[in-house]
Amino acid sequence: MTIDNLSLRLTSISVPDLRRVRWLRHPLTPILLIAAIARFMWLGHAALWYDESGTAWMATLPWARMVAATAGDMHPPGYLALMWVWVRLFGVSEFAVRLPSVMFSLAAIPLMWRIGSRVRLGRPALVVGAALMAVMPSQILYAQEARMYALLQLEVLIALWAVLEFRWMTFGLMLAAMLWTHNYGVVYAVPLNALALVMVVIECKRKNIPVIAKLTMLIGANGFALALWLPWLGVLSGQMREVAAGWWVPPMTIGGVIDILHRITWGIAIDLSLRSPAAILLFTLTVYAMGRAVLDADRRALFLTLAVLLPVAIGVVVSVLWKPMLVFRALLPITPMLYLLFGWAFTEGFGLRARQLVVLFAAPMIVVCLATYYPSIATMKGNPDNFIAMLDVGPDDVIYHMNEGSVMSWRFYAPDSWRQYMPPSEMWRNIGALTDATRRAMGFNMARLDDLPWRHAWLINSYGPTVVAAQDVEAARLLAKYPYRIILKEVNDVSGVEIYELFNPAYAK
């Protein structure tokens, strides 16, 4: 082949025109890119904190013990079943165990776009909603956490999409998935069915067909979901009795409900100086958007308003009639609909000056929150290596944790050779602590310090609002009985950690 022929062939090769690739020109593409960058940034930087360590620990157990540990806890095993497979493929590093949540969170953004399109929101409203979901601190927080909340959000969105598309088999599957992922799935099942009933009535009236025909399919979807969930129903009743015996959620107040709304949008790592203005901005926008939805009688906005308010209302009712249960993390799935509602209110019938004013306040706040989120979340989750490095542990020594908080946090950071124990549960149980069944399944070592052989005992006394007085009493007794030296003492009004090195007089003789 001559040079001329080669040049001719090369010049004849057609280069695809990137302007014709639709997904590259779609406004969702840069939003997803920004969302991915925000979620992958420092994903493996922070240490696993208590809840995440619990996920990794349970997922590494044999299957039967994992299910038993979950049954003794207050969650169903759906998410942990996925993680059980995942950790055997990719390990238990901080990056690996958080990666599924990143994927669930990213998948939720185009799904939210589909929902907004289905309720006939304009593209500007969809862009605003998707952009908020991409960068709001709470979305990043739970996308970077090895827990089930990002998965629950995705399942709720799929179920809502199925309602709008009248895909009842998908709806039934997602109802079952929610119920197996988090016990709060029961709370979402009620409003989703209420919205489905509204959609069925509207559709039947529009097509002039009997409601009973569509209603039968909705009932069938619920029956299908119930049948799939039924094996766990008996376990749930036991979990609820356990919750009733020692629940840690504070009583519900109006201020508490507003605080929950603040936490599921701005997150818990927001800079202290911004919390008040951020809360005021959020509350103002929420009242304005929902008020406009009612006054304008806009079906699209009313649908989104109901999708936001109904789960909260059910949580309030249950909290009043039974036990406080408005756990802000579990309400994360309502935020996509809230962002779409903001998008509608911001782009339709909203004056230019008002838009400029909102952007003037909101944009810098979001930027600052994102800038402070990453270092602050690493600090909030803690770093057990800092404490572990303080200990010079010998083969005859014991690490004695006064509660399971430090046991869980140290699980994947302390050397395997260390002998770690905590007091048996008959001595006391802190509020919201793991049950005996979960501790046994997870393999906690429990014994009285006086009954263990040791030369040095490194006493780890961590505490906070859920710690009962008996723990402090026992810690004081041990310090009075054995000679000790203080390794660390960090205490504030809410929480603290104390590390002591205890010396066994029996070894001194």
The predicted structure's pLDDT at residue 16: 56
In tens, the pLDDT along 162-204 reads 999 999 999 999 999 999 999 899 999 999 999 999 999 888 8
> 208 pLDDT band (50/70/90 cuts)?
confident
Residue 244: pLDDT over 60: no
- 315 versus 291: which is more confidently predicted? 291
Q: Where are the domains of the chain?
A: 25-381, 384-508
The predicted structure's pLDDT at residue 12: 52
- 12 versus 405: which is more confidently predicted? 405
Residue 17: pLDDT over 70: no
Which range, 81-95, 250-264, 271-285, has the best average confidence (pLDDT)? 81-95
Q: What is the mean pLDDT of residues 94-120?
A: 97
Q: What is the pTM of this model?
A: 0.92
Residue 112: pLDDT over 90: yes
In tens, the pLDDT along 34-80 reads 999 999 999 999 999 999 999 999 999 999 999 999 988 888 999 99
Residue 243: pLDDT over 80: no
- 509 versus 129: which is more confidently predicted? 129
Residue 83: pLDDT over 90: yes
Residue 19: pLDDT over 90: no
In tens, the pLDDT along 299-323 reads 999 999 999 999 999 888 887 777 7
Query: Under DSSP, is residue 500 helix (H, G, I), strand (E, B) or coil?
Result: strand
Which range, 197-206, 217-226, 247-256, 368-377, has the best average confidence (pLDDT)? 217-226
Residue 458: pLDDT over 60: yes
- 136 versus 492: which is more confidently predicted? 136
> 248 pLDDT band (50/70/90 cuts)?
low
In tens, the pLDDT along 434-457 reads 888 899 999 999 999 999 999 999
3-state secondary structure 256-281: HHHHHHHHHHHCCCCCHHHHHHHHHH
Tokens 């007794």 correspond to what residue? 477
Q: Which of 375, 382, 374 has the alpha carbon at shortest distance from 49? A: 382
72-102 burial, b at 16+ Cβ within 10 Å, e below that, comes to bbbbbbbbbbbbbebbeeeebebebbbbbbb
Query: What angle, 0 to 180 degrees and rounded to 10, lies between the N-to-C axes of helices 254-266 and 335-347?
Result: 80
129-161 burial, b at 16+ Cβ within 10 Å, e below that, comes to bbbbbbbbbbbbbbbbbbbbbbbbbbbbbbbbb
- 276 versus 244: which is more confidently predicted? 276
Average pLDDT, the chain: 89
In tens, the pLDDT along 355-393 reads 888 888 888 888 888 888 888 888 888 899 999 999 999
Residue 290: pLDDT over 50: yes
Which residues on neighbouring strands pair with residue 457, listed in sequence order?
398, 502
The predicted structure's pLDDT at residue 433: 85
In tens, the pLDDT along 477-507 reads 999 999 999 999 988 777 789 999 999 998 8
Residue 115: pLDDT over 80: yes
Around 292, how many Cα atoms within 13 Å sit in the side-chain half-sphere? 18
Which range, 13-22, 102-111, 262-271, 383-392, has the best average confidence (pLDDT)? 102-111
Q: DSSP state, 446?
A: B
d(CA 46, CA 409): 12
The predicted structure's pLDDT at residue 10: 47
In tens, the pLDDT along 381-431 reads 889 999 999 999 999 999 999 999 999 999 999 999 999 999 998 998 887
